[in-house]
């Protein structure tokens, strides 16, 4: 059975840009498994772009994500409730929400965030995978 992955925001950005920081192991995981992207990541990228902190490729970000074959996940109340329960675990609310999505959808969050990788090991089923 194929592993189902939720891509962390920086992983999505690196994939879209063909960034070298996304190593061969992570690329292989993405190519071999079903991958999803939460609208949380779309919001986070667009918010950083709007404040001038992050240039993005031209065109619809959602369309680009879907054109790569990634499933775009809407945000649900179950995701928010699951993520809110993690606010003491990690200081970044976007990461807590992404973990909530991963837990609710039975996905593994693919990330390079060292703090998130360390802190999530205490969660049942350890829902993170190192990129």
Based on the structure, what is the number of domains in the chain? 1
As a three-state string, the secondary structure of 81-93 is HHHHCCCCCCCCH
- Considering the entire predicted model, what is its pTM? 0.92
Question: What SS3 state is found at 55?
Answer: coil
Looking at residue 78, its pLDDT comes to 95
Cα(40)–Cα(8) distance, rounded to whole angstroms?
10
Q: What is the pLDDT of residues 15-26, one digit of tens each?
A: 999 999 999 999
107 is in which domain, residue-wise? 4-130
């Amino acid at each position: 059975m194929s592993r189902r992955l939720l891509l962390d925001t920086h992983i999505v950005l690196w994939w879209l840009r063909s960034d070298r920081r996304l190593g061969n192991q992570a690329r292989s995981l993405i190519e071999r498994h079903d991958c999803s992207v939460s609208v949380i990541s779309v919001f986070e990228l667009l918010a950083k772009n709007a404040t001038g902190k992050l240039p993005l490729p031209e065109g619809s970000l959602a369309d680009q994500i879907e054109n790569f074959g990634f499933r775009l996940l809407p945000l649900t109340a179950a995701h928010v409730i699951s993520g809110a329960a993690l606010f003491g675990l990690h200081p970044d609310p976007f990461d807590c929400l992404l973990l909530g999505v991963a837990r609710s959808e039975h996905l593994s969050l693919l990330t390079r965030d060292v703090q998130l990788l360390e802190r999530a090991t205490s969660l049942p089923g350890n829902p993170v995978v190192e990129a």
